[in-house]
Amino acid sequence: MKTPTAPRLIVILVGLALASLAARAESAAPTAQPLYGEHGFDAAGADPATKPGDDFFRYVNGRWIDQTAIPADKAAYSLRLAMSDLTERRLHEMMESNAASAGHEPATLEGKVGAFYKSFMDEARIASLGVSPLAGHLAAVRAADTHDKLAALMGRNNADFEGSLFAVGIDVDVKDPKRYAVYVGQSGLGLPDRDYYLEASFAAKKAKYEAYVAELLRQLGWPEAEQRAKDVVAFETAVASASWTRTQQRDADATYNAMSIAELQALAPGFAWQPFLEAANLGSLSRIVVGEKSAFPKLAALFAQTPVPTLQAWLAFTVADNAAPFLSPSFAGAQFALRKQALLGQQQEAVRWKLAVHAVSGGDFGAGDHFDRFGNLGWAVGQIYTAKYFPPEAKAKIEVLVDNVKAAYRARLERLDWMSPATKAEALKKLESYTIKVGYPDHPRDYSRLVVRDDDLVGNVIRAASADWAFYTGRLNGPVDRSDWGMTPQTNDAYNGSLRDIVFPAGILLPPMFDPNADAAYNFGAAGGVIGHELTHGFDDQGRKYDTEGKLRDWWAPEDAKKFEVQAAKLGAQYSAFEPIPGVHVNGGLTMGENIADLGGLTLALEAYRNFLHGQPAPVVDGLTGEQRVFIGWAQVWRGKARDDFLRRQVVGDPHSPRMFRVNGVVRNIDAWYDLFHVQPGDKLYVAPADRVRIW
């Protein structure tokens, strides 16, 4: 099951009270001790022996990296994940309390959260059930003896455990933002990316995946499990060959192809579209937006040519794979060994209560579980969480804060010397059109009709998924809800979405990424930098294609667009030269949007800090000037480390660059950094002034 909306997921954070900084002098003493260091910077984690111009990330974070071991139940660790650990503990306490008072089939929101959690924690019952919770699914797969019937089963993907060759989602129509559209895109791969099937460097991972497919089919009692596993992986390899790369998928223009259902059938005639859409509760649909247009005929033809027994085995495997976290230890353990251990390098599974928290809440808090793909009570958990941990007055403080950073962006836009007046006027209008959403949605999701039982984990997951998909299909023909959120309040993330909204959930509004007791400059570099990052996303290489109404439209003067593209290409070339592991390069095209946003974010943070000083000198703190502390604050935000397998997966499938390059790749393009940290020609990060990238 996939999340039906797909807002651009960004990374972390803004704080609870940075706006209050404007009301006190830079030199004023904090009212309480910051979480890190005396003023907000953990100097004990820095490595002063490293030259800032050689590796600024290590200069700020080196000793922490050397002294910190990645926990055995994680594939990476960072200050952000330390914050997620706090959220986990809070949700654990909350769910334990709710479970203690929940009945068998509760009616209250708290009771339903508690019963769902309780059903996941009942390991003895789950083990005793074995594969029986999937009996109905497997019977349906065996009965699907034609391609049309198999396509219909794939249509259940959003509301059940079946996989699909095509992914369907509902979101705002970016060519007509006053209504919703149904989007359909390529899918069908069980490994993280097409490269895992096609690149020789991933051959060992692919072999382990085939063994995993065979193992799950054996546990299902599927005949000829080993041979069918070979067939399944061969099928997925062909799907990978026909699929677009993730870099190609980033092109907003190329992935918007509106057409009628008849036109879709003509484009990709090998697939049974009508049974597929009817099973997805979209049988009356007349218009759809196709993503990877040139891939669709190939994928549909592949589907038509693939024998029914292979497709049946593939569907049976996807059901078991998607359901594995909610099944007996033999299924869950096999999935851990492949998806977390072999693909991410994680050494051991998280304790049961952490998995339960994620299963009920959705999201993974950075742990790699990705329970947001399955039916959960994420919005219900968010209501309970924010009622306890995010008071209404915090919303007001953040809204004022974001306005301050927005003002810095406005000033920079007005001063741009490379953009023509007409394009600049449109850019300023777009900036003003953004709505900032903080903490939690104004309107809670209704769970009154959802049935949750404390002894039916798989049933709870399916009913929650069905209710969630019914919510999105039910509003398809109605007006767009401008108050909508695409991310639950407890999520440790932020995003710039299709509603021209920038969202900072309560789950990210925590120390250490922002500390109201810390020095102002550190906070501007950290929280201010991330606010600027989100604002810049509306003007990155894809975000810039949307106008002030959120419509996909070219509003740029041609000469301005060319100037932008020249600078973006220079930035992409810089990042493509980075190697997180020897021989493994960052994909500058895939990460382009995030890299532009990072560069814009820190640039805006520095500007906002200078404005905050109102021309007054900043005191020296921790032996550092105010502007030095802004850069240090940004670098500390990204403090973290990862296992090699995690990094290999990240560079092929994640639009974010690895942490060290979110620091080193940014600072080297900001002129002020060179003087502040005495960076000279010959230093490893040095870029000649003419080659530095300056966009926003």
pLDDT tens, position by position, 19-78: 333 333 343 344 578 999 999 999 999 999 999 999 999 999 999 999 999 999 999 999
Q: Note the pTM of the prediction, 2 decimals.
A: 0.91
Whether the CB-CB separation of 276 and 288 falls below 8 Å is answered with no
pLDDT score for 393: 67
Distances (CA, A) of 630 to 522, 533, 603, 674: 5, 15, 10, 14
Nearest one of 657, 601, 635 to 41, comparing CA atoms: 635
> In whole angstroms, what is the distance from residue 612 CA to residue 397 CA?
16
pLDDT score for 395: 67
Distances (CA, A) of 103 to 95, 114, 273, 447, 568: 14, 9, 43, 16, 57
Amino acid occupying residue 671: D
Which CATH number is associated with domain 28-78+394-436+509-691?
A: 3.40.390.10
Average pLDDT of the residues of the chain: 92
Whether the CB-CB separation of 299 and 269 falls below 8 Å is answered with no
Nearest one of 668, 658, 542, 524 to 597, comparing CA atoms: 542
Amino acid occupying residue 256: Y
Confidence class of residue 579 from pLDDT cuts 50, 70 and 90? very high
> In whole angstroms, what is the distance from residue 388 CA to residue 90 CA?
10
**Cis bond before residue 512 (omega within 30° of 0):** yes
> In whole angstroms, what is the distance from residue 634 CA to residue 605 CA?
9
Distances (CA, A) of 671 to 334, 538, 602, 668, 680: 51, 24, 12, 8, 12
> In whole angstroms, what is the distance from residue 307 CA to residue 329 CA?
32
**Strand bridging mode 435-439 / 495-496:** unpaired
Distance in Å from the first CA to the final CA of the chain: 38
Question: 496: which strand partners?
Answer: 8, 502
Query: Phi/psi zone of residue 583: left (φ > 0), alpha (ψ -120 to 50 degrees), beta?
Result: left
To the nearest 10°, the Cα dihedral for 49, 51, 55, 61? 40
Across residues 124-146, what is the average pLDDT?
A: 98
For the beta sheet containing 166-172, the strands, ordered from the edge strand earlier in sequence to the opposite edge, are 166-172, 180-186, 287-290, 257-260
Whether the CB-CB separation of 392 and 525 falls below 8 Å is answered with no
Helix (H) / strand (E) element for 257: namely strand 257-260
Q: How far is CA 402 from the centre of its chain?
A: 21
> In whole angstroms, what is the distance from residue 177 CA to residue 190 CA?
33
Give the position of tokens 């962006």.
409
Whether the CB-CB separation of 553 and 661 falls below 8 Å is answered with no
Nearest one of 156, 459, 170 to 318, comparing CA atoms: 156
pLDDT score for 372: 63
pLDDT score for 516: 79
> In whole angstroms, what is the distance from residue 667 CA to residue 635 CA?
9
Fill in the DSSP letter of residue 508. G
To the nearest 10°, the Cα dihedral for 673, 678, 681, 686? -30
Distances (CA, A) of 374 to 150, 466, 468, 692: 21, 10, 10, 44
Tokens of 680: 């000279």
pLDDT score for 8: 32
Whether the CB-CB separation of 10 and 496 falls below 8 Å is answered with yes
pLDDT score for 438: 86
Whether the CB-CB separation of 5 and 168 falls below 8 Å is answered with no
> In whole angstroms, what is the distance from residue 402 CA to residue 18 CA?
9
pLDDT at 540 over 80: yes
pLDDT score for 568: 98
Which CATH number is associated with domain 131-326?
A: 1.10.1380.10
Across residues 231-252, what is the average pLDDT?
A: 98
pLDDT score for 132: 98
Give the position of tokens 């995030």.
594
Tokens of 265: 């059938």
Across residues 406-434, what is the average pLDDT?
A: 95
Fill in the DSSP letter of residue 181. E
Residue environment code for 425-460, b if the CB has 16+ CB neighbours within 10 A, otherwise e: ebbeebbeebebbbbbbeeebebeebbbbbebbbbb
> In whole angstroms, what is the distance from residue 59 CA to residue 578 CA?
18
Burial classification of residue 124, based on how many CB atoms lie within 10 Å of its CB (0-12 exposed, 13-18 middle, 19 or more buried) = exposed
Helix (H) / strand (E) element for 8: namely strand 8-9
Confidence class of residue 689 from pLDDT cuts 50, 70 and 90? very high
Whether the CB-CB separation of 630 and 521 falls below 8 Å is answered with yes
pLDDT at 361 over 70: yes
pLDDT score for 509: 81
Examine domains 28-78+394-436+509-691 and 131-326 and report if their fold is the same: no
> In whole angstroms, what is the distance from residue 505 CA to residue 377 CA?
16
> In whole angstroms, what is the distance from residue 627 CA to residue 54 CA?
19
**Cis bond before residue 191 (omega within 30° of 0):** no
Across residues 399-423, what is the average pLDDT?
A: 90
In the three-class reduction of DSSP (H, G, I as helix; E, B as strand; rest coil), residue 85 is classed as helix
In the three-class reduction of DSSP (H, G, I as helix; E, B as strand; rest coil), residue 317 is classed as helix
> In whole angstroms, what is the distance from residue 485 CA to residue 379 CA?
10
Tokens of 394: 């915090």
pLDDT score for 397: 63
Whether the CB-CB separation of 294 and 302 falls below 8 Å is answered with no
Strand locations in 287-335, DSSP E?
287-290
Across residues 361-385, what is the average pLDDT?
A: 77
Strand locations in 411-462, DSSP E?
435-439
Percent above pLDDT 90 for the chain: 86
Please, where are the H alpha helices in 160-224?
A: 195-198, 203-220
> In whole angstroms, what is the distance from residue 140 CA to residue 146 CA?
12
pLDDT score for 22: 35
Across residues 547-555, what is the average pLDDT?
A: 96
- pLDDT tens across 616-656, in order? 999 999 999 999 999 999 999 999 999 999 999 999 999 99
Query: Phi/psi zone of residue 77: left (φ > 0), alpha (ψ -120 to 50 degrees), beta?
Result: beta
Domain ranges for the chain, please list them: 28-78+394-436+509-691, 131-326
pLDDT at 422 over 70: yes
